[in-house]
Structure 1
Amino acid sequence: MPFLDVRELTLHYATPKGPVRAVDRVSFAIEQTGEAVAVVGESGSGKTSLAAAIMRLLPANIAAYTGQVILDGRDLMQLDKEAFRKSVRWREIAMVPQGALNTLNPVMRIGRQVIERPLLERLMTKEAALARAQSLLEMVGLPKEVLDRYPHELSGGMKQRVAIAMALVMSPKLLILDEPTSALDVSVQAQVMNLLKALKRDQGLTMLFITHDIALASDLCDRIVVAYGGEHVESGPADAVLLRPKHPYTERLIASIPKLKEAAQPEFLPGAPPDLIAPPSGCRFAPRCPRAFAACA
């Protein structure tokens, strides 16, 4: 049985113009603990909504929320909202949200922010929580002095490391990372990726890595899930997806990666993602696909 088994997960948002089909019958699995799986796709493919659906961090305007999220043999969708909050969110599944650099409270010291959640849940004494925070900062490559600093005193890369430490404070089984490198320059991005690889290697951390950058995904992840227009269009071992892509959208994503050792320019994908209020009736990529034919529509 897979460690995480997502089956036919659907999340639609209600709007005055009709439901937005942000996540439409998406299925994938993380086969075992210690594995990293990437969900890749351009903006508007439903990646962040997929993470929100798994974490059950949902807005009020939900039109549909169905499917199964099975973690370690337990279907989390069968839990009521309060049971999920108390027993799953942050304890079994934690998340580093998109734009995590801006989630830190500017008037609160880092140490207090790291220990806030376990103290609110009454899981640790203050002394134990501070010791845990110090250990986590060391794990993510930060000195213990950072505990006494404010967010404005830290660089972008340091803030991202703090966000990762905060997500790990309650020792979750699964860490979801939503675009963890998107706001960082290339050198800091490399440092964060090296940290994630070290956590995977040394701590056996299980990760769901959400990104628009398929090259980054291939550097960290064992498997890749390709999302487009709210749907899952392809998945498989990272090497197989990169070297033998089956879906035209995956081919175009790979073709858009700059090649350092080749003179050829990246191939940019024309057009825009589909309108998820009124998506195409057939393949949602068909209007942009150079290989589309009548059956695709």
Structure 2
Amino acid sequence: MQGPHPVPQRRVQAAGAGLSRRGAAGRLAAVTGATGFLGRQIVRALAAEGWRVRILARRDPVDPLWREATPEVVIGDLGDRTALNRLCEGADVVIHGAGLVKAPNRAAFDAVNVAGARRVAEAAAGAPHVLLVSSLTAREPRLSHYGASKHAGEQTMAEVLQDRLTIARPCAIYGPGDRELLPVFQAAAASPILPVLSEAGRVAMIHVEDAARQTAALAAGPPAPAPVVLCDERPDGYSWRELMAAAARACDRTPRLAPVPSALVHAIGITNDFTVLLRRTPMLTSAKARELLHPDWAVSPEERSEGLPRAIYDLEAGFSATVAWYRSAAWMKH
């Protein structure tokens, strides 16, 4: 469901046809959200393609992923217009990946995902190409405040930048360093029963390294005329049974899969909404329940770009690598 002024949905023809490493050499990419789960990998992918990288950060970061990348750091945040101007000055592409995924209310989401997006767009007025890393949830803005704020952020940047904007919509991202799916793997390693949230739903997935490589390819190409969804080689998505069974196999377990009534998932989400009053922001809120139970997070051919790199990880390899990382980092004991 789109808002009252949807971004045009047109077939994207090879929008992600990226430059070679040689072609990207010397070009400058300015990145917000560089220290986040996906952002760290985007910086790494850009450096591997020969880009010079400049990032916005609240402090000078040290990241083991960046052993071969030495990004220039502009100290500041999305509320600092001076820092944003310095970040974007002379950039060949500006990649806006910063955003909130959890917040107590719509206003808190909008303060970052909409107002912050506008400030980045205004600071990037001189850049020939701006790439917004949005979310597939922006396709269904009525499901949650998060999805609505991402959709509004897309609209805001499109108003300012017009045909200089590319919108990337990653589907569900997982991989090393991901805290959101960690409880799923912890349950898969320890529980004799795993829940199946829906028998009909389809969920497209992508490993974080593949999402970063596809983002870097989009950055190297011309602005895309319509939002581009980032996903693995299964754009039709996975059933919840497939996802839970694959998580269990990655943990060398074979638990029983049990359907969970959707009413129960909604009830848990509604109950958790009240913890906001205690200044806690749980991941499973009523809004998140609506997102999880939405039947169609698959990706249509019109939403993909023919020129993007093929995903390296399928679900089995990706989940196995993720669990191996969790164990090596002592995030999982089993």
Query: Which TM-score band (shorter chain)?
Result: 0.3 to 0.5
Greater strand fraction, Structure 1 or Structure 2: 1
Structure 1 length as normaliser, TM-score? Answer: 0.33
